[in-house]
Amino acid sequence: MPQVDDGVTSYERVLTAEGLAGQRLPTYWAEPAGEGTFPGLVVIHEISGLNDDIRNIARRLAGEGYVAMAVDLFSGRNRAVCLARVFYGLLVRPLGNGTVAEIQAALESLRRHPKVDASRTGAIGFCMGGSYALQLACIDDEMRAASVFYAQNPRPLSALAKACPIVGSYPERDFTARAAAELEARLEQYEVQHDIQTYPGARHSFFNSQGSAYDEPAAADAWRRTMTFFEQYLRSSREIPAARE
């Protein structure tokens, strides 16, 4: 049953879209209440799954004027199998794995939603989800922007030559800090529009308001930068310059 709170409508929905190989994918939706069409975002959770923190992020995005669809990659499935599948897609077969194909199929469902402007869609992800948001940015030609938090880079890094504009937020005290430097260097090389920031003293999952590593100043600045970036590249109807191969 849809719930309406502070101008945001939220509800749960199970996708059975083409490209899901017969699988049912639970999702959590949050959208601006009322009429009109809006930019759409797929929200990809970290290793802890689709929890209240991710739902809150989806609602915050809706409050900013986006239709947000948070995918649940673990629900109703054997968690050990899910994790093995996720790490296979990150470490063994990046860019061509079942998980990113599943997320891309969900993104297509988002584009068909009557309140979504299909020409203005993107992704936001955290940790594992950030890594898959980066993969999606490299393989989906229709995405306009991606926001990634403490993500691992796709391999090969040359795939970033075809990426959409990327805003990335990374903690200094984390294994992904090196990935942030590599990502920024490649995006500059390929002339992909970007904003990559590493926060001094911050730790992994600094954006999770319900976690022990939550860093309020870093999280607030990362959100501000992400919203500014989305305003420029996702909400705007202007043409995005093509990356150089």
pLDDT (tens digit, 9 = 90+) per residue, 71-121? Answer: 998 876 666 666 767 666 676 677 878 889 889 999 999 999 999 999 999
Of the two residues 142 and 94, the one the predictor is more confident about is: 142
Residue 3 banded pLDDT, cuts 50, 70, 90: confident
Report whether pLDDT(5) > 90. Answer: no
What pLDDT sits at residue 34? 85
Q: Give CA–CA dist 209/158, Å, rounded.
A: 34
What pLDDT sits at residue 178? 97
Residue ranges covered by each domain of the chain: 3-235
Euclidean distance between the first and the last CA atom of the chain, given in angstroms as a whole number: 47
Report whether pLDDT(243) > 80. Answer: no
DSSP H helical ranges for the chain: 52-63, 79-87, 98-111, 128-139, 176-189, 216-230
Report the chain's mean pLDDT, rounded to a whole number.
90
What pLDDT sits at residue 17? 59
Q: How confident is the model over 43-47, as a mean pLDDT? A: 95
Query: What percent of the chain shows pLDDT beyond 70?
Result: 87
What pLDDT sits at residue 244? 45
The DSSP result for 37-103, as a single string, is -EEEEEEE--TT-S-HHHHHHHHHHHHTT-EEEEE-SSTTS-HHHHHHHHHIIIIISTTSSHHHHHH
Q: Among 8-12, 53-57, 166-170, which is the least confidently predicted range?
A: 8-12
| CB neighbours of residue 177 within 10 Å | 16
| CB neighbours of residue 1 within 10 Å | 4
Tokens read off for 59: 């609602």
Helix then strand count (H, E) for the chain reads 6, 9
Report whether pLDDT(228) > 70. Answer: yes
What pLDDT sits at residue 97? 83
Top-level CATH class of 3-235?
alpha beta
Residue 70 banded pLDDT, cuts 50, 70, 90: very high
Enumerate residues 6+ apart whose C-beta is below 8 A from 12: 26, 27, 28, 29
